[in-house]
Each structure stands twice: as C-alpha cells, then as structure tokens.
Amino acid sequence: MNKVKIHFLGASGTVTGSKFYLETPELNLMVDCGMYQGLKELRKLNWEPLPIDSSKIDVVLLTHGHLDHTGYLPRLVMEGFHGKIIGTPPTLAITQIILLDSAKIHEEEAERANKEGYSKHTPAKPFYTITEAERAISLFSAEEKDKWIKLSENIRFKFRYNGHIIGATFIELEIFGKLFVFSGDVGREHDPLLVPPEHPKWADYLFVESTYGNKLHPEEDVEEILVRLVKETLNQRGNLIIPSFAVERLQSLMYLLWQLFKKNRIPNIPIFIDSPMGNNVLNVFERFPEWHKLSSKEYQAMCTHFNIISSYADTWKTIDDPRPKIVIAGSGMVTGGRVLTYLKQFMGRSTTTILMVGHQAEGTRGKQLLDGAYELKLFGKYYPIKSKIHHLESLSGHADQKELLHWMKDIKNVPEEVFLIHGEPSSLDAFRVKIKDIYNWRVHIPKLNETKEILL
Ligand SMILES: [Zn+2]
C-alpha cells in the first residue's frame, strides 16, 4: 500500500520556521522552507541541521515569500538540496529580495562579531552569504496560480490565491488521489490592496496556520486614527515616525495615506518612504498588477505622492528637513533598518509620535516601545524616549480566528485529519477546540520533528 510520511520540521508548536517534508512513493517534497525568528532560543534552532537527508528532496513548493517560509532555502542548498524551488512569479520575486536582504544581514552580523570578538566560533561564520543565497535563487522555477502542475505520474499541485501578501497562495497537493491542502498564511477579508482569499472546496488532509487562532483583530477605524495623528503632527510641527515591514505593510500604508489625501481628509504633509527593501517590493507591485487592486495608472499616481528615498545621505537630509512630516521606514519591529536613525534623532522630542503597526514580537524593540519603555538601546547606547507611542493593531496581513474559520467553511467533505501549525501553543489549542466545536473535525497539533505516516 502506498504511504506518505510527513515530517513536521518547523512552525510546529511555534509561529515561525515553516517546513513540512513529505516522503511519497514517487517524490520527496517540501512545503515552505522558513527560518525561525524571534527570541534567541528559537533562533538557535536555525543552526541545527535538519533531521532528514536534504539531498533527497526533489521539489520545494513555496506558499509565499516571507522569511519565516523561505529563509532556510540557502541552508537547504548548503545541506545538499539541488532540486527545484517552485512558487508563483511574485512569490519568487519577493523571496529573492528577502533572501538577499537576509544574507546581507547575516554577513554584516558575522563581520561585526569578528571585529568585536564576541562569537564563540572564530572566525564567526554568517548563517549564509549572498553567494549562497544566489545559489538557492538559481533553482527558482515559476508557475502560475489556478493551474494543475504535474510533478510525477501520481502527484500534482495547484497554487490558489489566499490574499496574505503579493503572490501568496495556499497549495492543493494531490498525491495518489488524496488532496493535501496547505493554507500558507491566510490573508484578510478586507485588505487595502488585496482582494479576499479564495477558499478550498475539498481537503483530505488540511494543514492550517493558527497565528491568530485565539484572537479577533480589534475593530478600529484605521483611517480615523491616521487622520488624527497627521493633524496632531501638523499642529505641533512635529514628526510622525511609522516603523514598517517592507513587504505589503509599507505599500498598504502608502495606499491608505494617499487615499486620505485624495479624499481631502488630510492636508498635503510631506511623506518620506525610507526603506531600500520596500522600494524593491514596490517594483514587484509594478510588475504584477494582476495580483493586487491597483491599476498601473493608480500605482504610478500613488508613487508620485511620496518622497521615496534611496540613499542614506538622503536619510540625513530628511532628518534635517524642519517641516512637520511623516516618515515610514523599516524595519517593522525596530529590530534594524533605517528607522533606527530616525528614532535616535526624534524619539527624545515630545512633538514626535511613533506609530507602531501590527503585531510586535517578544524580544524586539517594537515590543519595548509598546510596553512603555523610557529608554531604548540603539547602536550600542541608550537614548531616552519622550515621544508619544500609538499602536495600530488591526492592520494585519493575517486572518484572525473568525476569518480562518470562514476560510475553511466551503470544504464539503470531512477531512481525515486537520493539522494545526504556525501558532503559539495557546492559540493552537484554542483554535483546535473551536474547529472541533464548529465542524467536529479531527484535529491534531504536531510537535516539532514529529512524523506521521498516512496510508493512501
Ligand atoms: Zn507570512
């Protein structure tokens, strides 16, 4: 009898590090290949080699480009993988940007560790280099959504739109007639730039993310909050600093602010976009207009409304600009990026407002700001915080509990088993109970490195 052996190699009992390995009679497949992010204990897991023979993997399928779904790819290649990495065209474009940025950060970190001598290994080695990231990128192979792609005699898959970020999909993987559905990260019903996710209609085995498995996004009026903060900034002749993720969040904020200006709800305040990676992602929006709500014309009009900064010299010109202004800069959780320079200059002033957007993970400066820290360590030194801090919670790329349940509501059959992945233990368990109550499906929460044999 044919069987599939599934290895839960990441995002099992945790949010990050998505990696699912399937051994089948015809091919060995991996769905997503992400890195762990967050607290040090979790990040240490990245350095442990996978408990499988990576050279035996034939194909990696990517649900979307985020680092916690793609960031391990260069290591997989270093461990011997030489197959194909398949994603939608925008997913591969985003993955390329993210892997090169990640490699650059790893190289810089190793260089700093060697200079300051704080690494246990001498010399300190980067997690992967730009050259190693490029080796993974050379294995990319794009496939369009909504098309069955045959991988072998009895295995085929289809990418289906799920509205999480540009290019993002869920995956329907058919193995010997059984349908394995991997949700990827499910997007929102109402997103400024993306249309609502499509829904699976059938799933023999369902793998669902549970990031917000126990939460509902607050009902807040995002436009109203932005209008109020922009007006306050103008009245106080201050600065509104918005740390933002480069992928999707930045483009959504641009779109919302541009719309508010067009509707005459905010005056023409200068808005600076300072995120080299965000600029690259903007190009992906330009290249793939069919993957978001903006037409090419609207996209062009939106971009001309902003001062898009490319060089670090212009960062300093912006800081010296005495006008009240808005600055949107990376990174989203203030773990690095150009926003550090702005905060160093502006967070000691009471006329500054810092607007944190979305979830801020434990151990990040973004979380410290939300928790009311009176000082922040930047570039090795402490700086006092005098500015006001606000939080926009609802602007998230992740479906909440209600939206996740809505996403699976069209599944006509009773799945043999539902696996809850990509969540903290508390949200995984709450979501398990909820799915049982509503659908009465069999739900399992796999542990890290657990394996499961399924007879076909
Ligand atoms: Zn994601």
Instruction: Please give all residues whose CB falls under 5 A of ion ligand 1, grouped by chain where several chains appear.
Output: 66, 185
For residue 408, how far is its CA from the centre of ligand 1 (angstroms)? 18
All structural domains of the chain with their residue ranges: 3-215+397-455, 222-395
CATH of the domain spanning 3-215+397-455 = 3.60.15.10
For residue 222, how far is its CA from the centre of ligand 1 (angstroms)? 21
> Is cis: bond before 331, omega within 30 of 0?
yes
Would you give per-residue pLDDT tens digits along the chain (456 residues)? 899 999 999 999 888 999 999 999 999 999 999 999 877 888 889 999 999 999 999 999 999 999 999 999 999 999 999 999 999 999 999 999 999 999 999 999 899 888 877 666 678 899 999 999 999 999 999 999 999 999 999 999 999 999 999 999 999 999 999 999 999 999 999 999 999 999 999 999 999 999 999 999 999 999 999 999 999 999 999 999 999 999 999 999 999 999 999 999 999 999 999 999 999 999 999 999 999 999 999 999 999 999 999 899 999 999 999 999 999 999 999 989 999 999 999 999 999 999 999 888 878 899 999 999 999 999 989 999 999 999 998 899 999 999 999 999 999 999 999 999 999 999 999 999 999 999 999 999 999 999 999 998
pLDDT of amino acid 119: 62
For residue 383, how far is its CA from the centre of ligand 1 (angstroms)? 32
For residue 64, how far is its CA from the centre of ligand 1 (angstroms)? 7
For residue 321, how far is its CA from the centre of ligand 1 (angstroms)? 35
Question: Residue 105, SS3?
Answer: helix
For residue 456, how far is its CA from the centre of ligand 1 (angstroms)? 30
Burial class (CB in 10 A: 0-12, 13-18, 19+), 218: exposed
pLDDT of amino acid 177: 96
For residue 146, how far is its CA from the centre of ligand 1 (angstroms)? 20
pLDDT of amino acid 135: 98
Distance, CA of 451 to CA of 114 (rounded, Å) = 39
Q: Residue 69 is encoded by which pair of tokens?
A: 């779904």
For residue 351, how far is its CA from the centre of ligand 1 (angstroms)? 34
For residue 389, how far is its CA from the centre of ligand 1 (angstroms)? 26
For residue 254, how far is its CA from the centre of ligand 1 (angstroms)? 20
For residue 164, how far is its CA from the centre of ligand 1 (angstroms)? 7
Nearest to 181 by CA among 155, 150, 160, 210: 160
Architecture of domain 222-395: 3-Layer(aba) Sandwich (3.40)
Helix axes 249-262, 276-287, angle to 10 degrees: 80
pLDDT of amino acid 429: 96
392 within 8 A of 358, measured Cβ to Cβ: yes
For residue 395, how far is its CA from the centre of ligand 1 (angstroms)? 14
pLDDT of amino acid 272: 98
CA 120-125-131 angle, to 5 degrees, is: 170
Q: In what order do the strands lie in the sheet with 417-421?
A: 149-152, 155-161, 169-175, 178-182, 205-209, 417-421, 443-444
pLDDT of amino acid 405: 97
For residue 422, how far is its CA from the centre of ligand 1 (angstroms)? 10
For residue 66, how far is its CA from the centre of ligand 1 (angstroms)? 5
